[in-house]
Structure formats: C-alpha cells, structure tokens
Amino acid sequence: MSYAALLETMGRVNDVLNAKSILSWDARTMMPPGGSVTRGKQEATLSVIAFQMLTSDDTRRELDAAEAELAARPKDSVERTIVAQVREAVQYHSRIPSDLIRRRAELGSTGQDVWAKARATNNFALFAPLLEETVALNREMAEVIGYEEHPYDALMYRFEPGETVATLRPLFARLREGLLPLVKAIGEKEQPRADFLERDYSPESQYEFALKMAQTVGYDLDRGRLDTTIHPFEISFTRNDVRITTRFSRNYMPMSLFGALHEAGHALYEQGVDPDYTRTPLATDLIGLYAVGGVSFGAHESQSRLFENHVGRAREFWDIHFPAAQAHYSDQLGDVTVEEFHRAINRCRPGLIRVEADELTYDFHVMLRVEIEAALIDGSLKVSDLPEYWNAKMHEYLGVAVPDDTHGVLQDVHWSSGQIGTFCNYTIGNVMASQLFAKAKEDGAISEGLARGDYDPLRAFMVEHVHRHGRRYSRDDLLLRATGRKLDPEPYITYLTDKYSELYGLEKEGK
C-alpha cells in the first residue's frame, strides 16, 4: 500500500513534468510571439510544483513506509530500484538550497540576452562578468551536491551519472590518439563535390522527405509528429506522444534530413520504453526534474547518433534509398550518383562551429568544452583567459584559426542559461552508439536487414537492450548487459577509421 501510494505520487510528478514539457514544446513550435510574456512563469510554476511534490513531507513519509514495506524484496527488483531512485532524488534535492536554485534561474533568465548581444557584437568582455558569476554559482552548486575527486563531477552527475573528470581523461586521450591522425590525413586529400546539396530545396519537399526517412527507420507517427523549429529537438510526453522537430535551410538540404533522423533516433528510445514504466520513476528523471525515459543524456545521444550516422549516413542505406531521394528531388539530385551523394554527406572538414561539425571532428569540439568547463570549475582556468585558451586549443586539435569570439568561445548558448556540465554526453553518445551498433551487427538477421532496408531487426535489438529498460539500469549496466563491456571507445575508433579510410582512400595505420 505504501509503495502504491508512493508510485501514485510519482505518477503525478510525472504528469506535471510532462505538462511542463508540453508547454516547452508549444513555446518552441506553436506559440505566438506575445505568449512569451507569461509562458515563462507558467513553466516555472510547474517546475516548482514538481519539486515540492517530490520533496514534500508527505512524499518522505510514503518513501520511508515503502522502503520498510519492500525490505524483503530483492535489491535489484523493479520496486526497490524505483524506491531507491526516489530516495536518491529526494536526498539530491535536499542538499541544494532553494536560494541557489533561484539565483541560477535568475542568472539564466538574464544571461541569454547578454550572451546574444555579446555574440552579435563579438564582445566577450560583455559576457565575461556573467560567465564569472555562472562559474562561481556552479562551483557553489558542486560543493552542496558533493563529489569525491573533482567538483565538475558533481555537475555532470545530473546529465551523465557516473561520469567523472577521471573517467573522461583516458577516454578523451584515446580518442585524440585514434582520431587526430585521420583528421590530419584527410586534410591532405581532395574533397568530394557537394554542390548539389546546396541547390534550391523547397522546405515543403524537405519536410516530406525527412519525415519519410524518419518513418523508414521506425518512427511511429501514431505516437509522434514532426514540426519546424529554430533549434531542433525531440521531446516526449510519455511513450505515447514523442515529438520531433527539424529545421530547413533552402540551400542546404542535409540539415533537415539528418536533423530529422537524429531526432527520430532520440524518439525511438522514448517510444520503446516499457509501457509498464509509464508515469513511474523509470520514465522520469527525478534529478533533472524532466519527464524522460532515457537513462542518461549520453545514452539518449547514442540512439540519435546511431540512427543519424550509423544507419542514415551509411552507404548501404543510400544504396537502398537514393532512388527514392532522386525521385523526390529530381531537379536537385537527377545528375548525382549514389557514390557522390554518399561522399558528399560524409565530407570531413575541420571547422569552427560545433553544430556544423562532421562525424570525425565533432568530438574535438566537445573535448574542448569539457576541458574548459572542468578547468573553470576547479579554478585552473580564468574566464579572462578563456578566449585565448579556446583559440589555441582549436588550433591544436583541428588546425583552424579562430577569427573572432563570435565564431569561437561565444558560439554556444549553453553557458548563458547558467548551466555547466552538459557537454560530455555528445561524445559519450558517439562512443556508445558504435559499441551498440557493432554488437548488433554481429547478428546476421540485423546485418541482412540493414542491407535490404529493413530496420526492424536493428530496432528490435535496441528496444530489447536499451529502449525498453527506461531508467531501470545505469548506462554502464545497460552496456554491460548488451555488449559485455562498459563504455569502450575502441568500436568507435574502428568505425571512424574504417569509414573515413574508405571515403578518402587513406592507408590504415596499425591500431
């Protein structure tokens, strides 16, 4: 009975967080401009309500009673896992004074305007005081949350539980060692033609084709829809309603296509969560206070990157689907071969901007940011030294010269929201995607499916090993159960080495 009461309370917390997500989706896709005046308050009120419900005296009493009631159950039972997650969340939130939450929210609400102005006018000095404050506040946050080795660990916990500066260091070192030679070797090679990607593609025709490809990999429109937005995202309101968005550049078609495949990958995760977990903590992030079924941001990113890159940028995908692309875009792709198309959508060109980076250089943008955040938090890097540090690292990693801060340290919105600790999941996702994809392809039925354009066997593997579990297991436990290993960069390095060696005719070095 106590456990049932706790579950019902958590169901209502989930309802409120889903409601907040619906408001957020609406604000980013449908809301008329004037609506922003009061929408912020509405979202904030729902956040406060969810927080209060989770940490109330009533909930604590239900939690105590549920723990007592379930004491005889196995520790790894679903019931005890749920109760343990609620306990952990209640403790986590109890450590953070409400004053700190309020100050961060205030910082976030002023930060975005200041950052936008600083970026538009290439004026880092304008943003620097706010960033100083953000760092100080997050340092304070790290101290109250607690950590064993590095204060940055406390900040990453909300997004990628278990990941630490100590675990990331060898991972990043291995990636640099494995990938930098490829980046350098490609720099000496001729680039494929890609002019046809920049022809005039109408947004309407892009919408149709992007949605068709999302459905092709399994995105279920009975429980989803595709809309247009400025910064694409996936968002879910339980597994029964999982929406994706993309954006359209008239003169760069891949943006909508791979944007939609990326978000569809996220969506497949949420659509695949066990229905029994609906409205439970196994489909609610009680630490981040966000209604999501995926177990970590990195795990989520693994699914988006898997369907965007391993599936959607593969030669075998386009061997099947390029005729449909050509039929759909006859004016733009009529004179293009599948090989040209495949090479064009996989061009590797070191650049300045993270969100425009290709598969091979993307992680260097991430490493740079993670290293900077950790150094800012532990005090080894000063905000005032940041632009110089940024530009030096960009040159070291990718050999590019940063012309100004607008195209450098001011490019990302993240820090203006008051948030630090959110970047590592992009690389974790890439690594994890390769690990899962390599394992899946060992199954002949899956490989054969991919070769003939049937993605059901692959998706069934992901549902079985990842999606359905929701937040039942930690990210590394998921990986262990699915692949026999915790997070492991080797399949990723192998994948990129093979892929880019073939695309650019590189000689493979012995690994």
Does residue 212 touch its own copies according to CB under 8 A? no
- At 314, list the tokens: 């593969």
Does residue 32 touch its own copies according to CB under 8 A? yes
**Residues identified as active-site:** 263
Of the candidate residues 5, 49, 324, 381, the single one contacting its own copies (CB under 8 A): 49
Site string for its own copies, 274-293 (x = CB under 8 A): ----xx--------------
Does residue 223 touch its own copies according to CB under 8 A? yes
Stretch of 73-81, 222-230, 331-339, 344-352 lying at the interface with its own copies (CB under 8 A): 222-230
Does residue 222 touch its own copies according to CB under 8 A? yes
Does residue 34 touch its own copies according to CB under 8 A? yes
Alpha carbon distance 58, 433 (integer Å)? 41
Instruction: Count CB-CB contacts under 10 A for residue 177.
Output: 12
SS (H, E, C) 262-317: HHHHHHHHHHCCCHHHCCCHHHCECCCCECCCCCCHHHHHHHHHHHHHHHCCCHHH
* Residue closer to its own copies, measured from CB, 198 or 220: 220
Note whether 261 and 226 are within 8 A (CB): no
Note whether 158 and 421 are within 8 A (CB): yes
44: which residues sit within 8 A by CB, 6+ positions away? 105
Q: What is the largest CA-CA distance in the chain?
A: 70
Does residue 31 touch its own copies according to CB under 8 A? yes
What are the DSSP calls for 398-446, one per residue? H-----SGGGTTT--SGGGGT--S-SHHHHHHHHHHHHHHHHHHTSHHH
Does residue 23 touch its own copies according to CB under 8 A? yes
* Residue closer to its own copies, measured from CB, 58 or 464: 58
Site string for its own copies, 234-253 (x = CB under 8 A): ---xx-xx-x----------
- At 189, list the tokens: 């090679």
Nearest distance from C-beta of residue 84 to its own copies, angstroms: 24
Does residue 220 touch its own copies according to CB under 8 A? yes
Stretch of 15-23, 122-130, 159-167, 379-387 lying at the interface with its own copies (CB under 8 A): 15-23
Residue matched to tokens 């159950």: 73
Of the candidate residues 2, 28, 35, 96, the single one contacting its own copies (CB under 8 A): 35
* 266 labelled binding-site residue: yes
Note whether 149 and 165 are within 8 A (CB): yes
Nearest distance from C-beta of residue 459 to its own copies, angstroms: 17
Nearest distance from C-beta of residue 464 to its own copies, angstroms: 21
* 262 labelled binding-site residue: yes
* 365 labelled binding-site residue: no
Instruction: Count CB-CB contacts under 10 A for residue 105.
Output: 15
Nearest distance from C-beta of residue 293 to its own copies, angstroms: 12
Question: H helices then E strands: how many in the chain?
Answer: 21, 3
* Residue closer to its own copies, measured from CB, 35 or 161: 35
Does residue 498 touch its own copies according to CB under 8 A? no
* Residue closer to its own copies, measured from CB, 99 or 507: 99
In angstroms, what CA-CA distances link 432 with 16, 44, 168?
31, 34, 14
Of the candidate residues 2, 5, 28, 39, the single one contacting its own copies (CB under 8 A): 39
Does residue 489 touch its own copies according to CB under 8 A? no
Nearest distance from C-beta of residue 216 to its own copies, angstroms: 18
Q: How far apart are the first and last CA of the chain?
A: 57
Alpha carbon distance 256, 203 (integer Å)? 9
Alpha carbon distance 358, 360 (integer Å)? 6
The H or E element containing residue 62 is helix 57-69
From its phi and psi, is residue 486 left (phi > 0), alpha (psi between -120 and 50) or beta? beta
Does residue 102 touch its own copies according to CB under 8 A? no
Number of amino acids touching its own copies (CB under 8 A) = 40
Does residue 84 touch its own copies according to CB under 8 A? no
Of the candidate residues 7, 15, 294, 430, the single one contacting its own copies (CB under 8 A): 15
What residue ranges bind its own copies (CB under 8 A)? 11-12, 15-16, 18-20, 22-23, 26, 30-39, 41-42, 44-46, 48-49, 220-225, 237-238, 240-241, 243, 278-279
List binding-site positions: 262, 266, 301
List binding-site positions for Zn(2+): 262, 266, 301
